[in-house]
Amino acid sequence: MSTLDQARETHLKNIEAKSGKSLAEIRLLIEKSGLTKHGEIRQMLKTELGLGHGDANGLVHYALNTDGQSAAKASGSSDDDIVSEMYSGKKAHLRPIHEQLIAAIEKLGAFETVPKKGYVSLRRKKQFAMIGPATQDRVEVGLNMKGVPATDRLAAMPAGGMCQYKVKVTTSDQVDDELLGWVRQAYESAG
């Protein structure tokens, strides 16, 4: 079983514990809802089960037998093709920021990159960061780490989301020691 598969399995077990429902019960809840769109199902699970965005999103992928990576690769594209698509059109000028971030993070040591539909997940034993073009004007770096005080730049995210913190990056000079220090902390906490 791959590291990614192990992470998904652990995530689903944690969701069962949080919600008090088995995966079969959750799948039945989704079927009975009559909802078919990913976002609608995710919102229903957040409301009905009190789950955070990341947990509800993971359940939708499980129930619909999809995941962001499979959806992104459905066309048979390479990882680089997927990233190029993310940074195409009006977002193309943001690709150098992405590349600068990846190059700096590679200096920390080994990790896995998993391109999804709109971002790239960076994983060790678990996801430590997400990088993607949030708008045509900025890249967002999501970070998973605990015990770090939020600042104007390091925004704390609501509990249950895909990341605990987010940093908006609009220019390459913002890929600085402060940001890379937070990335290092997230990297080290991911095993």
pLDDT for position 191:
82
Query: Would you kindly state where each structural domain of the chain is located, as residue ranges?
Result: 3-66, 79-189
The pTM of this model reads 0.67
In this model, does residue 172 exceed pLDDT 90? yes
pLDDT at 169: 97
115-159 confidence digits (pLDDT tens): 887 899 998 888 899 999 999 999 999 999 988 999 999 999 987
Cα gap 143→167, rounded to integer Å: 8
Alpha carbon separation from 139 to 100, 128, 132, 157, 169 (Å, rounded)? 12, 16, 5, 16, 5
Place of tokens 């990790």: 111
pLDDT of 34 reads 86
Q: What is the pLDDT of residues 38-78, one digit of tens each?
A: 778 888 888 888 888 778 877 877 777 665 555 544 556 67
Q: What is the pLDDT of residues 80-125, one digit of tens each?
A: 888 888 899 999 999 999 999 999 999 999 998 888 878 999 988 8
Q: What is the pLDDT of residue 162?
A: 78
Instruction: Tell me the average pLDDT across 174-181.
Output: 97
Asked if residue 161 has pLDDT above 70, the reply is yes
- Cβ 97 vs Cβ 171: under 8 Å: yes
